Copies of this chain bind each other. A is one copy, B any other.
C-alpha cells in the first residue's frame, strides 16, 4: 500500500509537505501541490483512514442495527439513510440482530471496536446491560422501538394511533368479532399497537371479548400464516382481522390466498405497512401506510447534524410520524358483499 512517505521519497520532499499538499494547506506552493497530487494519482495513493482516526479524526461510518434487512420496511430505511448520508461523505454499516439480544450485543461490541461515528438502532425487546452501556458511549438514536433505559433521541411511528385507526375502521363497519395479530407486548411497538387496537374497541363501545389478540414473533411470515390458519379453523371465527406487522401481513395474505378465503365476504382484513403486492392482493388490501421515507430522512438528518456539530443534541426528544389508513377492497361490513371493484 502506497503511503505519503512513498510519495515524499519519490519527490524528494518530506512527508509533512506531502500531507499538507494533499490537504490543500495554503502554506504549500502551488507548484509543489501540483507535483504531489500528480504523483499521488499516478502511484494510486489512497489515504489511510485508520491512521487518521488515530490522530483523533472520527470515523465516517454510521451503523444501522436492525432485525432483518429482508423486511422491506428496513431496507427502505437503509436506502434512505444511505442516500442521505452519502451526500455528507458517510458510509453505512449494516448489522442484523434477528431480534436476538446476544447478536445485538455482539454487533455493538464490533461497532464500538471499529469506532463508528454513530449508531441508528432498532433495539431488541430487552437489550443486555452491556449493550446499553456501549450505546451510551456513542452518538446514537433509536428507531421505531424505544428502550426506556437509553434516554436517547427516538424516531418512531405513532403505533397506537395507527392501530386505533385501523381497528376503528372495522368497528365503524359493524364488526363485533375482531382479531388482532401482532408482536409481543414486551416490544414497545407491540405494546403500543395492542393498546391502539383495544382503544378502538373501547371507543366503539364494544365489550371486552369482542377483540381477540394473538401475539407472537412479529417478523415471522410463517407465524402469520400459521396463526391465521388456526384462527379460521377454530371456534368463534372472527369476522375481521387487523394485522400489526408487515411480515405477519405477508404471511396472512399468502395463507388466505391459498385457502381461497373470500375477502371481504368471509373475513375483512386490514394490513400493516404498504408493500408492493398489497394493492393487487385479492380485492386490494386496506392497510395502514407508514411514512417510512420521511422517518428515515429525519433520522439521517438528525444524525448528520449531531455528528457535524459537537454540542449536545438540541433536537426534540422524540419524533412521532403518523400512519395513514389506505382503504381498499379488503374491508366491508360483516357478511357484506364484495365491493364493486374489478378484480
Interface residue ranges, A against B (CB under 8 Å): 44, 46-51, 53-54, 59-61, 68-70, 72, 75-76, 78-79, 82-83, 86, 89, 91-96, 103, 106-107, 109-115, 133-134, 137, 221, 250, 253-254, 257, 260, 275-282, 342-343
- Cβ of A28 to closest chain B Cβ, rounded Å: 21
How many copies of this chain does one complex carry?
2
Most chain B CB inside 10 Å of its own CB: which residue of A82, A134, A253:
A82
Do B96 and A83 touch (CB < 8 A)? yes
Residues of B within 8 A of A342 (CB): 260
Docked Cα-Cα span, A11 to B307, in Å, equals: 34
Do B115 and A103 touch (CB < 8 A)? no
- Cβ of A67 to closest chain B Cβ, rounded Å: 11
Do B279 and A280 touch (CB < 8 A)? no
Give which listed residue, B48, B93, B114, B257, contacts A113 with CB less than 8 A.
Answer: B48
Give which listed residue, B50, B96, B277, contacts A276 with CB less than 8 A.
Answer: B277
In the complex formed, the residue of B with least CB distance to A41 is B130
A49-B113, A50-B114, A91-B114 known; 14 other A-B pairs, CB under 8 Å? A44-B133, A46-B109, A50-B115, A68-B79, A69-B78, A70-B72, A70-B75, A82-B95, A86-B96, A86-B103, A91-B111, A93-B93, A257-B279, A277-B278
Q: Can you report 10 A-B residue pairs in the complex whose CB atoms are below 8 A from each other?
A: A49-B50, A50-B54, A69-B82, A70-B76, A86-B103, A91-B107, A92-B93, A93-B94, A275-B276, A277-B277
Do B281 and A254 touch (CB < 8 A)? no
Give which listed residue, B69, B83, B91, B343, contacts A75 with CB less than 8 A.
Answer: B69
Residues of B within 8 A of A94 (CB): 78, 82, 92-94
Closest 3 CB pairs of A and B: A277-B277, A257-B280, A50-B50
Residues of B within 8 A of A78 (CB): 69, 94
Most chain B CB inside 10 Å of its own CB: which residue of A60, A70, A75, A111:
A75
Residues of B within 8 A of A60 (CB): 110, 114
In the complex formed, the residue of B with least CB distance to A259 is B342
Residues of B within 8 A of A70 (CB): 72, 75-76, 79
Do A250 and B276 touch (CB < 8 A)? yes
Docked Cα-Cα span, A289 to B68, in Å, equals: 22
